[in-house]
Amino acid sequence: MKIFAFVCIKQLFTILSFVTLITSVVQAEISLSGLFGDGMVIQREMPVPVWGWGQAGEQVTVKASWQGQAAEVVVDNDGRWKVELQSTKPGQPQSLTISSAGQTITINDILVGDVWVCSGQSNMEWPLSKDFNAKEELKQANHPEIRLFSVVRCVANEPKENCQGQWKECTTESAANFSAVGYYFAKEIQNEIGVPIGLIENPWGGTPVESWSKPETLKNTPDFKYVLDKFQRYCDVYPKKMKQYQEARKKYLATAGQKNRPSAPRTPIGPGHPNQPGGLYNGMTAPLLNANIRGVLWYQGEANTREPEGYDKLFQTLITDWRQDWRQPKLPFLFVQLASSTGYGMGITLIREQQLQTMLALDNTGMAVTMDIGDAKSHHPLKKAPVGHRLACWALAGTYGRESVETFGPLYREMKIEGNNIRLFFDHVDGGLYAKDGTLTDFTICGADGVYYPAQAVIDGDTVVVSSEKVSAPVAARFCWCEYAEPNFYNKQKLPASPFRTDMKFPR
Q: Which string of DSSP letters, residue by residue, matches 428-453?
A: S-TT-EEETTSS--SEEEE-TT--EE
Q: What does the alpha-carbon distance between residue 200 and residue 7 come to, in Å, rounded to a whole number? A: 57
Flag whether pLDDT at 15 surpasses 80: no
pLDDT of 8 > 70? The answer is no
Helix (H, G, I), strand (E, B) or coil at 297: strand
At 158-176, the pLDDT tens digits run 999 999 999 999 999 999 9
Q: What is the pLDDT of residue 508?
A: 55
Provide the pLDDT for residue 12: 36
Q: Check pLDDT > 60 for residue 67.
A: yes
In DSSP terms, which residues pair with 366 in a beta bridge?
A: 334
Taking only the tens place, the pLDDT of each residue in 280-300 is 999 999 999 999 999 999 999
Q: Given pLDDT bands bounded at 50, 70 and 90, which one contains residue 506?
A: low
Residue pair 29/41 in contact (Cβ under 8 Å)? The answer is: no
CB neighbour class for 438 (10 Å; exposed up to 12, middle 13-18, buried from 19): exposed
Q: Helices 225-236 & 238-254, crossing angle to 10 degrees?
A: 60
Instruction: Write down the pLDDT at residue 389.
Output: 98
Query: 143-150 and 94-100 as β-strands: parallel, antiparallel, unpaired?
Result: unpaired
Q: Beta-strand (E) ranges in 101-163?
A: 103-120, 143-150
351 with 311: CB under 8 angstroms?
yes
Determine the 3-state secondary structure of 128 from DSSP.
Answer: helix
Q: For the chain, what percent of residues have pLDDT higher than 90?
A: 90
pLDDT of residue 260: 85
pLDDT tens, position by position, 216-263 = 999 999 999 999 999 999 999 999 999 999 999 999 999 998 888 888
Q: What is the pLDDT at residue 13?
A: 41
Q: Within 13 Å, how many C-alpha atoms sit on residue 19's CB side?
A: 6
Cβ proximity of 180 and 384 under 8 Å:
yes
pLDDT tens, position by position, 353-405: 999 999 999 999 999 999 999 999 899 999 999 999 999 999 999 999 999 99
Burial of 469 (0-12, 13-18, 19+ CB in 10 A): exposed
Strands 70-74 and 59-64: antiparallel
In the predicted model, is pLDDT for residue 101 greater than 60? yes
Pairing verdict, β 31-32 and 333-336: unpaired
| DSSP structure class, residue 376 | T
Closest by Cα among 101, 105, 89, 49 to 195: 89
